[in-house]
A and B are shown apart, each in its own frame.
Chain A
């Protein structure tokens, strides 16, 4: 076993992919310098400046270059340094990459990975902390991946690079330096569209993405102390979504909490909730609870940002609401109300 961080897993996967297939290139702002988090560190030394291309701060054109190169047969991995700047590349992503295969009647494919990172927690302020994945899930033709662990990041990135479609790979800046035990072997690819059940339970299903997966596991420990067995599932990819695994779990437990860091309103949690109630309506014992950020930009001031980000307290409280829905008199939990805002 070796200890590695999320960002090291990304770096090693990129290096392995570039070694295995010379069609794989990396481009983006400062990628030859390793980027702000070191995700591309050392690649230019091994693979040269032709395949590890530093670009100007021109997100739209750089994304388009990656698309054009993909249509010509390369497998570019383009980095948009912060998901907040994907706004500048949305024309290329939504109008070109997502639609090229469709509009060409299948003649073109866009084997492209757009790596980016989002999320709050680093006092980055309203323009460097957002969770915008829901926008991208709304565009047919894009795939959207959100890993929560180093092992999954490696396996999912490998699959994303091999995929013939444009894949947006959304990392979380607060996960980058989280240490994890890996077996040291090159990761097996993790297929896109397979959820992972991290904890089994019979009373409640918690579905969480990215950093919230770890908050959900913490909340599940608290729930266990309360005598409640929570199942925790990470969808890992939002598009395609493994609805079957989610619905099967909720059909068993009858209760669900959906948690993400993005603003709750219009968030992908709403889509998950809708799909679950369509698939498992008869099994539901309580309304599906959603946990997400409030409808404000991300504040920079520490106490405000801390209050903004949903955490284990909110997931725990939402879980209790789901449990208490139809049996309010029977339970009295020590932690009820802890940290609820």
Chain B
């Protein structure tokens, strides 16, 4: 989680000096979901993500160097610099795609689950999306199909209360995403996404069931999006949380406090984790900066397989 936090804080500074490209959406405040879900998955378990994907990628095992190089448009990026922040893929680590079209990843995840089922594998597919995607037609089509076909698929909704610049209440009368899928009869839970242990426990139970042939399920994680919708968003539509309120919701700080209280680690070791993450991110920046931009001819080479 510290690696996700430090990576994204660094990306924010790099964005301000135009060293990373494209529309950058940070997940600061949502790290508990990435960690609680992805750290329980095997490499051959597949995730699909959306436009806010850095945390999912890191938690799923994508190395920081190629990830940062991708954001910086370099040839040693995980997609050779052709994907960018919103379109991360790392097949080796089971990140089969992030998409910039809200909700567009949902049916792709279903297709992956169909392939897993037909192939006789016990691997599981998870798909991340925000509460904004729930009002899209793809969501309803996908939920219906997943239930109909009983796919080994876990829908993971990060409900941060805002679809881009607009609160959920202005887009729909249904407050809880888990209630939206109620008629389909599959397992569903809503947890505090800032509480990584709660996410871990709920997702772990779903994962075990899906591994054993169950599914689909939906896990709704209530999170706080600390940053704007994208970097550069003026955020005129909401008030910033004061430090005390943020501290109470910050998933990284909460886990650290609990770890120290429960003596899973010392204060010194906890601080060390943060420092190590900072250093790892700096190495990733160096790796990315040392990588050249791709040859312009690469574009034409990769249109068709």
A52 to B164, CA, bound (A): 39
Which one, A50, A61, A141, A165, contacts B145 given CB within 8 A?
A61
Contact with B along A43-82 (1 / 0, CB 8 A): 0000000110101101011111111111111101000000
A140 at the interface (CB under 8 A from B): yes
Contacting pair A103 B141 (CB below 8 A): no
Is A230 an interface position by the 8 A CB rule? no
Produce 1/0 per residue, B83-104, CB < 8 A to A.
1100101110000110111001
A104 touches B89 (CB 8 A): yes
Instruction: Pick from B84, B111, B112, B303: contact of A141, CB below 8 A.
Output: B303
Per-position contact with B for A97-127: 1 when CB-CB < 8 Å, else 0? 0011111111111000000000000000000
- Knowing A74-B115, A107-B79, A107-B89, the reply to whether A64 touches B97 (Cβ < 8 A) is no
Inter-chain contact count A-B, CB under 8 Å? Answer: 152
Is A216 part of the contact surface with B, judged by Cβ < 8 Å?
Answer: no
> How close is B119's CB to chain A, nearest CB, in angstroms?
8
* CA–CA, A89 and B223, complex, Å: 31
Q: Would you call B303 and A58 a contact (CB within 8 A)?
A: no
Q: Does A96 contact B (CB under 8 A)?
A: yes
Q: Check B114–A69 contact: CB distance below 8 A.
A: yes
**Considering only CB atoms, which chain B residue lies closest to A108 in the complex?**
B89
Beta-carbon contact of A101 and B138 below 8 Å: no
* Chain A residues in 8 Å Cβ range of B78: 105
On whether the beta carbons of A69 and B111 are closer than 8 Å, the reply is: yes
Q: Which residue of A lies closest to B110 (CB)?
A: A65
The answer for the CA separation of A96 and B108 in the assembled complex, in Å, is: 9
> A65 contacts which chain B residues (CB < 8 A)?
107-108, 110-111, 114, 145
Q: State A100–B78 Cα separation when bound (angstroms).
A: 14
- B149 → chain A closest CB, angstroms: 8
Q: Are B112 and A56 in contact (CB under 8 A)?
A: no
Q: How far is the CA of A92 from the CA of B302 in the complex (A)?
A: 19
Give CA–CA (A56, B101) in the complex, Å.
23
Selected contact of A64 from candidates B83, B84, B104, B305, CB within 8 Å: B104
Contacts of B137 in A (CB 8 A): 60
Q: Is B118 touching A96 in the complex (CB atoms < 8 A)?
A: no
CA distance A131 to B301 in the complex (A): 30
Interface of A toward B, CB cutoff 8 Å: 25, 50-51, 53, 55-56, 58, 60-74, 76, 91-92, 95-96, 99-109, 140-141, 143, 164-165
| Across the A-B interface, the 5 shortest Cβ-Cβ residue pairs | A68-B111, A64-B107, A105-B80, A61-B141, A72-B115
Known: A68-B108, A74-B111, A95-B99. 4 other contacts (CB 8 A): A60-B137, A61-B107, A91-B104, A164-B305
